[in-house]
Amino acid sequence: MPDPVPPESSTTRRGFFVGLLRLAAVGTLAGGAMALVTRRPARASNEVCINPQPRTGCRGCPALIGCGLPQALSLRELLRKG
């Protein structure tokens, strides 16, 4: 009695699923790599706000141009957009 499913067909199906798993693995790796490349740079841990008058905020701070703290980055982006 002949085999109902030819061996080539099951190999092809298995190969399809293995290829699918490989594609998923490559996609996951590529997604992780993109997330690493596009994330915002972490600020240095030793960076602290030097504004002597914190109530004035970043607008009047002389260090605004070179500051890497999140509030300064936000203000610079806001000022750049206009």
In angstroms, the CA 69 to CA 43 distance is 7
Q: Which of 46, 50, 39, 45 lies closest to 72, judged by CA?
A: 50
CB of 82 to ligand SF4, least distance (A): 19
- State the residues that interact with ligand SF4 by CB under 6 A: 49-51, 58, 61, 63-64, 67, 69, 71-72
In angstroms, the CA 26 to CA 21 distance is 9
CB of 67 to ligand SF4, least distance (A): 3
In three-state secondary structure terms, 44 is coil
Structure tokens at 21: 């798993």
State which residue, 27 or 68, has the beta carbon closest to ligand SF4.
68
CB of 55 to ligand SF4, least distance (A): 10
State which residue, 24 or 79, has the beta carbon closest to ligand SF4.
79
In angstroms, the CA 76 to CA 73 distance is 5
State which residue, 59 or 81, has the beta carbon closest to ligand SF4.
59
